[in-house]
Structure formats: C-alpha cells, structure tokens
Structure 1
Amino acid sequence: MPTYIAFTYTPDVDWTRPEYGQEMKEYQEFGEAAEAVIKGGHALYPTATATTVRVQGGKGGDAITSDGPYAETKEALTGYYVLECADLDEAVAVAAKIPAAWNGAVEVRPVIQF
C-alpha cells in the first residue's frame, strides 16, 4: 500500500501549552478515528527552536548553523503524519480531517520507497 506524508502547516505555536488543550483534543480525536492508516507522526516545537544547517562551499565544506527556521512565514511546518492509504484520493480524504486543514494547510506527498 502506498505511503504518504501529510505535513501540517498552522500558526507557529507551542502545542504543549495549556491554552491549546481543546485543539489538541481535536487532534487526538482525529488520531483515534484515522488510526487504521496512521503509521507515525509527531508535532514539532515552534520554529524558534529550529536550527538551520547549510554547508558552505558544497560537500565537504564547513557546516554553518543559524537559529530559527529556514524561512519566516505566517504558517509554519508544525507536524506531520505518516499515512498508509490505498491511493492519493484516500490520503487527501484523510488529510481533510486533520485539524490543521481547518485553519492552516496540510500538504500531502507520496513517499518514494527505495
């Protein structure tokens, strides 16, 4: 069965904070309803915790790091689900039920199986 990643893009918040408890309940309900196709996934800490890595001069060059995300945006990559679905149509139908789709966006991509 094909595997898809559903990237969630939402406001850049700390989902561990109590004020997001109701939204986290909605994610938990989604997870329970879609448990047959969810094969993994995680929420991410806010982009302020990110470290961006670039290699200066290409392969073998010096690793340069900077604090923060690669790009500043209104909505940030805040998590992902690994979905095992029959096809893209099923993956899209599942993604539409992820709470991030209601006030942000969910990007669905097929995984290349090597």
Structure 2
Amino acid sequence: MKYLCLVYCNEQLLHDSPDSPRDEECFAYAETVQASGRMLAAEALQPVQTATTVRMRGGKLSITDGPFAETKEQLAGFYLVDARDLNEAIQIAGKIPAARVGSVEVRPVRQLDV
C-alpha cells in the first residue's frame, strides 16, 4: 500500500537546532529507503514564501501568495513509500532525519479508479 509521509518543520528552526539534519544525512536516508525498494518518490520543497495558494469559488479562480494557513510548522517535503501496512510506514517515517526537529504525518494514499 502507498503511504505519503509529509514532513513538517518550523523553517526558521530547521537548520539552527543542534538536532537538525544536514543534507548529506537526508540523502543517505533516502538512498537507504530507495535500496529497500520502498521509495516511490521523495522531494524537499522550497521555502514556504515561494508557495502560491489556489482556490476556485463560484467558478472564479483566486490566487494568493504564500501558504494556505499561518502555522508554526510548514510542509518541508515528502516521501511517497510503498509499505506492507501502517506500522511499516510509521517505521520508515520515524527514521526520516527531519523528524528529530519537526513532525512527519503518515497518510495512506487513496487509490482512484480512473
């Protein structure tokens, strides 16, 4: 089953904490998950200031600079993994280096029949 592991961190603290992962550690972890055959995709995101929020209301498109909501933690990246079950997905997510300074939301991917 596919699971999306959404990595959230406070961008201002992401690289300043003593527990903050360095890029090399993140790359090494991604390579480990890739080698296990569980990695489907993984990407880091640009800072939240580069976000654009799009809404369609009453047939009219609305575009706003910035994220959808003001929060202390921002979506920093994701891992899309193939895991046997939620427990295995949680084990994968718990080893994501950024989990030490932020959080990882694990969500099953709903298969669309299209």
Structure 2 runs not aligned, ≥5 long:
15-20
Offset at residue 56 of structure 1 (A): 2.7
- The equivalent of 1:48 in structure 2 is 49
Offset at residue 86 of structure 1 (A): 0.8
After TM superposition, the runs of 4+ consecutive aligned structure 1 residues lying more than 3 A away are none
Q: Which amino acid aligns with 2:33?
A: A
- The equivalent of 1:9 in structure 2 is 8
- The equivalent of 1:18 in structure 2 is none
Structure 1 runs not aligned, ≥5 long:
16-21
Distance 1:10 1:78 in 2: 6
How many pairs does the alignment contain?
Answer: 103
| Identity in percent | 43
- The equivalent of 1:25 in structure 2 is 24
Give the TM-score of the pair, scaled to structure 1.
0.84
Q: Which amino acid aligns with 1:44?
A: L
Compute the RMSD of aligned alpha carbons: 1.5
- The equivalent of 2:18 in structure 1 is none
Which of 87, 90, 104 pairs up with 1:89? 87
Offset at residue 34 of structure 1 (A): 1.4
